[in-house]
Amino acid sequence: LLLCQILLFSIETMAYDMLDAINNGKDSWKVKVRVIRLWDAINLNNNELISLDMILLDEHGTMIHAKVIKHMVNKFRPLIQEGLVYMIANFKVTSAMNFRPVEGDKIINFLHTTKIQEIKGLKNIRIAEQSFMFCSVEVLSTRDGQRMYLSDVIGVASYIGNIEETGTTHGISKIRDIVLRIEDQKVNIRLWGNKVDQIDEDSMVLS
């Protein structure tokens, strides 16, 4: 019991950096973050895994995209679970590319030397359970056709179409069209692949 208490105390008081302070100047950063989203990035040409991706959130509310490249996924996947809080140390910070899932210009890349340790049993973890950056209709209109950011939206489903199939350059894919009412405007959204099963007619609000 004494050993357990000492271990928790050392983790709690460990110095760490805030996400808005990290940069590409070194690889010895240490951050305390919650994994708020975790997913596999898949190559649609061959359905092969590209990387294990995640969004990290710190106690200041800053979010950042992080990824584990393909050949290191087997090492790190068993150590990471969505929703939990971790101390992550020794990683590389690089410039974010297109299709950014958060509004930021940096991305964390795991290295072979990256260390990750779950923080649990601490009552003073002041990191939110979840975070989004919902876009207004005005912001969405400025992003039409651009590849910089992926957008978060929230609205009322006024139409949910049937599941259909369509041909793409990668083969046949399932699609489902929905209409969201956002700020009294209708926004058309198309779901692809296995995302079509994550919503159904019972989710629609009739007016």
Residue 126 domain-assigned (yes or no): no
* Domain identity same for 30 and 109: yes
pLDDT of residue 204: 58
Residue 135 domain-assigned (yes or no): no
* Domain identity same for 98 and 175: no
pLDDT tens-digit readout, 92-138: 999 999 999 999 999 999 999 999 999 987 666 889 999 999 989 89
pLDDT of residue 9: 41
pLDDT of residue 199: 82
* Domain hosting residue 186, numbered range: 155-204
* Domain identity same for 13 and 61: yes
* Domain identity same for 26 and 89: yes
* Domain identity same for 99 and 200: no
pLDDT of residue 203: 64
* Domain identity same for 114 and 169: no
Which amino acid is located at 9 in the chain?
F
* Domain identity same for 79 and 11: yes
pLDDT of residue 6: 45
Torsion of CA 5, 9, 11, 15, to 10 degrees: -170
Residue 65 domain-assigned (yes or no): yes
Stretches where the chain sits below pLDDT 50 are: 1-12, 207
91, 118, 145 — which closes off a domain?
118
pLDDT of residue 172: 84
Q: How many domains does the chain have?
A: 2
* Domain identity same for 182 and 112: no
pLDDT of residue 11: 47
* Global pTM value: 0.82
Residue 50 domain-assigned (yes or no): yes
The tokens for 57 are: 């959130």
pLDDT of residue 56: 98
Q: What is the 3-state secondary structure (H, E, C) of the chain?
A: CHHHHHHHHHHHCCCCECHHHCCCCCCCCEEEEEEEEEEEEEECCCCEEEEEEEEEECCCCCEEEEEEEHHHHHHHHHHCCCCCEEEEEEEEEEECCCCECCCCCEEEEEEEEEEEEECCCCCCCCCCCCCCCECCHHHHHHCCCCCCECCECCCEEEEECCCEEEEECCEEEEEEEEEEEECCEEEEEEEEHHHHHHCCHHHCCCC
Residue 137 domain-assigned (yes or no): no
pLDDT of residue 8: 46
Q: Which residues, other chains included, contact 32 with Cβ-Cβ below 8 Å and sequence gap of 6+?
A: 16, 58, 59, 85, 86, 87, 119, 127
pLDDT tens-digit readout, 50-62: 999 999 999 999 9
Residue 138 domain-assigned (yes or no): no
* Domain identity same for 106 and 181: no
